[in-house]
Amino acid sequence: MTQTSNVTKDNRPTQATRTVAIFGGYGASEGESAYTYARDIGRGLAEAGIELLNGGYDGTMRASSQGAKDAGGTTIGVTCPADLSSARGPMKPNKFIDLELPAPDILSRINAMMRLSGGYVFLDGGTGTLSELGVIWEFVAKGFIPPRPIVLAGATWDDLHTRLGDYRAGCTKHVHRADTPEKVVAILSEHTVRGTRARFSTRYETGTHDLTTTVDSLKQIMQRFVEQRDWLPFHDPKNLSASIAIEAAELMEHFQWIRSEDLVNVRTDPKKMEEIREEIADILAYTLSFASTMDIDLSRALADKMVKNAEKYPIETYKGRFELPAE
Residue 167 lies in a domain: yes
Tens digits of residue pLDDT in 167-188 = 887 888 999 999 999 999 999 9
SS3 24: coil
> By the 8 A CB rule, do 255 and 275 touch?
no
Same domain for 175 and 289, yes or no, is no
- What integer pLDDT is reported at residue 199 of this predicted model? 45
Same domain for 222 and 118, yes or no, is no
The domain containing residue 242 runs over which residues? 215-318
- pLDDT greater than 80 at residue 300: yes
Tens digits of residue pLDDT in 273-283 = 999 999 999 99
Same domain for 35 and 146, yes or no, is yes
Per-residue three-class SS string for 132-175 = HHHHHHHHHHCCCCCCCCEEECCHHHCCHHHHHHHHCCCCCCCE
Say how far apart CA 10 and CA 26 lie, in whole Å: 32
Same domain for 248 and 314, yes or no, is yes
- pLDDT greater than 60 at residue 91: yes
> Above pLDDT 70, what percent of the chain?
87
Residue 327 lies in a domain: no
Residue 10 lies in a domain: no
Same domain for 225 and 177, yes or no, is no
- pLDDT greater than 80 at residue 206: no
Same domain for 164 and 265, yes or no, is no
Which CATH number belongs to the domain containing residue 255 in this structure? 1.10.287.1080
Say how far apart CA 87 and CA 93 lie, in whole Å: 16
- pLDDT greater than 50 at residue 14: no
> By the 8 A CB rule, do 75 and 66 touch?
no
Average pLDDT for the chain = 86
Q: How many residues does the chain have?
A: 327
Same domain for 168 and 223, yes or no, is no
Number of domains composing the chain: 2
Same domain for 44 and 143, yes or no, is yes
Which CATH number belongs to the domain containing residue 125 in this structure? 3.40.50.450
Q: Considering 135, 158, 191, which residue would you say is the last residue of a domain?
A: 191
- Kindly compute the dihedral angle of the four CA atoms of residues 241, 245, 251, 254, in this order, to the nearest 10 degrees: -160
Predicted TM-score (pTM) of this structure: 0.64
Same domain for 158 and 122, yes or no, is yes
Q: Considering 158, 191, 224, which residue would you say is the last residue of a domain?
A: 191
Tens digits of residue pLDDT in 39-83 = 999 999 999 999 999 999 999 999 999 999 999 999 999 998 877
Q: Considering 127, 157, 191, which residue would you say is the last residue of a domain?
A: 191
Same domain for 219 and 263, yes or no, is yes
- Mean pLDDT (whole number) for 253-279: 90
Residue 12 lies in a domain: no
- pLDDT greater than 60 at residue 268: yes
Residue 198 lies in a domain: no
Residue 5 lies in a domain: no
Same domain for 33 and 179, yes or no, is yes
- pLDDT greater than 80 at residue 202: no
Residue 324 lies in a domain: no
- pLDDT greater than 70 at residue 1: no
Burial of 106 per CB tally in 10 Å (0-12, 13-18, 19+): middle
Same domain for 36 and 69, yes or no, is yes
Q: Please provide residue 206's backbone torsions phi and psi, each rounded to the nearest 5 degrees.
A: -75, -15
Residue 323 lies in a domain: no
- What integer pLDDT is reported at residue 322 of this predicted model? 73
Q: Please provide residue 254's backbone torsions phi and psi, each rounded to the nearest 5 degrees.
A: -70, -20
Say how far apart CA 9 and CA 232 lie, in whole Å: 45
